[in-house]
Structure 1
């Protein structure tokens, strides 16, 4: 399932898949605590761990075993709905982070945390559309934008600077996805939409923000 969703995002953005996410997957919370060297970290179900040393990048993607078990029982590839939507988004966020860091690192590009979160929010939106393309009877498309961007919930344990980063990333992603929804209605991933998504993916953070905020775009 994880490979499927990794390939789905890679195909959407027409990017080469340099690393297999399963080779970097951690599902044991004890290993997560050891890698973070802390027992005080807030409990989470997804986290990308990054360590850069002497020009080498080390990655691990933690996904909670309970999360994966729930998705195994209610596989989004069979049906994506209210029951498994939140878990699906959590997995997409983790894979989005992994893919984006790896792709940029392969091109010797740096990535900001704000940029990482903004891209993940966009990936939840377009990833859902891609999955629902094979589920024509789903009604999730009609409420997708509201579910993702209207009054989003954030972890109450976030530090103020973290909370501001998540809020800002969500707001920028919402503006971008709202424009996509307006210009490419009915939740269809048309060629023009894919072209724009792929161009957007390759922009550095300042250009992403400029693209979203430009008068001609809005």
Structure 2
């Protein structure tokens, strides 16, 4: 992947993790934004087709610039949304906003704890001693101390922009809670016991599921 953009690398990591084929290249749909704008996936239905534009902050993908943890999460979330919509459209299945947010939270956890980004993204806080064993792609890079710090920053030390009681605010809070429970289950049942193939199978089942099954899988944790 030498020379690939950061968003395209994330897409390739997610596509391999979930065994996805024939997804359009995310780079072709990216529109850069300036100022304080955050990532956003814009979708428009026109004559039976879906038109997509992924807005990403220019500062977050500028080559040679060290990205903050938040900026990395924004890029992963944007690419996750794009890939999930493309895959559901390919399968001629609907996708709810809660599905998108829930899957994006899981994808951030997967890439930063178990996937390729675990080798190059350091979570906020004191430096950690790197130690992990080789394992199947996308489901084997597990360091308990690092995983705990990532989970804390993704699911506990968070600030919601929309207040509780609003549709958007409640959706983000529900997605956060469900993803935290699902991530905890992945670690407790699979990662801590070296059951990497089963971890990967659980991730792929979750990805293929619709909203009702996603919620049930997360709540089973």
How big is the alpha-carbon RMSD for the aligned residues of Structure 1 and Structure 2?
2.5
Out of 191-200 and 176-185, give the one that drifted further: 176-185
Q: Select 2:83's aligned residue among 86, 91, 99.
A: 99
The correspondence for 1:154, drawn from 156, 160, 168, is: 160
Within 5 A, what are the aligned runs for 1:130-149? 130-134=115-119, 137=130, 140-149=146-155
Contact 1:45–1:90 (CA under 8 A) maintained in structure 2: yes
Match of 2:65 in 1: 73
1:53 aligns with 2:49: no
Q: In 2, distance between residues paired with 1:133 and 1:161?
A: 33
Q: CA deviation at 1:142?
A: 3.8
Asked whether the 8 Å contact 1:132–1:141 carries over to 2, the reply is no
Taking the aligned partners of 2:76 and 2:192, their CA distance within structure 1 comes to 22
* TM-score (structure 1 length as normaliser): 0.80
Give the superposition deviation at 1:60. Answer: 0.4
Q: Which residue of 2 aligns with 1:37?
A: none
Unaligned runs of 5+ in 1: 31-42, 76-83
Is the counterpart of residue 182 in structure 1 residue 188 in structure 2? yes
SS at structure 2 position matched to 1:105? helix
Report the alpha carbon displacement of residue 12 of structure 1 after superposing the two structures with TM: 0.7
> Per-residue deviation at 1:132?
4.9
The SS at the match of 1:163 is: helix
Aligned residues: 194
How far has the Cα of 1:99 moved from its partner? 0.3
Offset, 1:160: 1.6
Aligned to 1:26: 31
- Consecutive aligned runs of 4 or more in structure 1 exceeding 6 Å deviation: none
1:101 positional shift: 0.1
